Amino acid sequence: MLTTSEFPSEGLMKVIVDRHGADSQKIHQDIKKYKDLRRDLFVANADVAKEEARHVKALKELRERCAKATKDCDHPIKTFHPDPSGNNDSYYECDICGVEL
Ligand SMILES: [Zn+2]
């Protein structure tokens, strides 16, 4: 996307002038329309970036809470899960925190 300083570019002006000829009111309307669209997109993209950063931070905090809870658990009771194929993939799971032991 073009930066604001390049707006409207020569190429866009040519498209708009080709579209409207000498009708300066329509030319100005088109320039304003595209300027507004670009501003709205710029703001929306900035909001997306902010929301993504907030989301990443929230997930990190939640994962840290899960890790702490698992770390604090001394796994007092567990369930044995045998390997149905009869191989060595059986395991115990803590009934409190769900960690595989
Ligand atoms: Zn546990």
Contact between 47 and 64 (Cβ < 8 Å): no
What spacing in Å lies between the alpha carbon of 82 and ligand 1's midpoint?
A: 19
Query: What pLDDT, on the 0 to 100 scale, is given for residue 7?
Result: 87
Using the mean position of ligand 1's atoms as its centre, give its distance from the Cα of residue 61 in Å.
20
From residue 9, how far is each of 31, 74, 80, 81 by CA, in Å?
Answer: 10, 66, 69, 67
The answer, yes or no, to whether residue 2 has pLDDT greater than 70, is no
- Measured in Å, residue 85 CA sits from the centre of ligand 1 at 26
**pTM score:** 0.61
**Residue 29 to residue 9: CA distance in whole angstroms:** 16
Distance 56 CA to ligand 1 centre (A): 26
Yes or no: say if 81 and 91 are a contact pair by the CB < 8 Å rule: yes
86 CA from centroid of ligand 1 (Å):
26
Nearest in space to 31 (alpha carbons), one of 11, 7, 10: 7
- Of 3 and 30, which is predicted with more confidence? 30
